[in-house]
Amino acid sequence: MLAGEILLRSGAETARIEDTMNRMASAFGLNDAQSFVQPTGIFFSANPIDRVKLVRVVERSTDLAKVAIVNGISRKISVGEMTVDQALSDLREIARIKLSYSFWIQVLAASITSGCFLIMFKGIWGDFLPAVIAGGIGHTLYIYLHKMIKVKFFAEAAAAFVIGLIAVITVKNGLGTEMDKIIISAVMPLVPGLLITNAVRDLMDGHFASGLAKGADAFLTALSIGTGIAAVLGFVFKIL
């Protein structure tokens, strides 16, 4: 249950979580174990007689390092290289520690990524710096707002609005040229790429409830980004 919870919180797909839990249970002699994973919780039964156990998962993020570590523990358990106590101790330590990158590294990565996307989208080098600035400031705002307001869609819409505003200002003042490519490049770090991938993967594996839920989450994220940009282009752009 703890392994499944860590995987779900870290952005793993449903099939991987269920397979990992079932393999670990089988390795420890629970051959009749059943697991059922949803985006907001995990159900697990050790056998047909015991009661079903539930873990509620509210907050989810992307931490592929933890996914890789838990997979490694699962493989060691499957080949008999790790006992129950050792596995539980390691999993508790993984759940406790924070392996995600620091705030400044995330902002720096978002900035550089935005500039690189601009060149990939065949933008001009003169717009590289405006895209870097817009992407960095937008991602900074997203991180801060997401910490203060748990509704991430509001944080994404606000970040997209600021990105669009910076793009409009730079173009209006002659610091940028192609506003559309600056905006598209700067919002790319906000795009839920992993969420979309997992949604498609779950649907292909037959996990329709999880796939549709993750797809709806990705759709709302895209809608929030589009709303923020539309607000800038529809109102602020005309005023400036």
pLDDT in tens, the chain (240 residues): 999 999 999 988 898 999 999 999 999 888 888 999 988 899 999 888 888 899 998 888 888 899 999 999 999 998 888 889 999 999 999 998 887 788 899 999 999 999 999 999 999 999 999 999 999 999 999 999 988 887 788 999 999 999 999 999 999 888 889 999 999 999 999 998 888 888 888 888 888 888 898 899 899 999 999 999 999 888 766 665
| The predicted structure's pLDDT at residue 222 | 92
User: Which of 231, 217, 222 is closest to 60 using CA atoms?
Assistant: 217
99: left (phi over 0), alpha (psi -120 to 50) or beta: alpha
| The predicted structure's pLDDT at residue 73 | 94
| The predicted structure's pLDDT at residue 3 | 94
- Single-letter amino acid, residue 167: A
- For residue 223, the tally of other CB atoms under 10 A from its CB is 14
Question: Do 11 and 60 touch, CB atoms closer than 8 A?
Answer: yes
Helix 193-204 with 208-231: angle, nearest 10 deg: 150
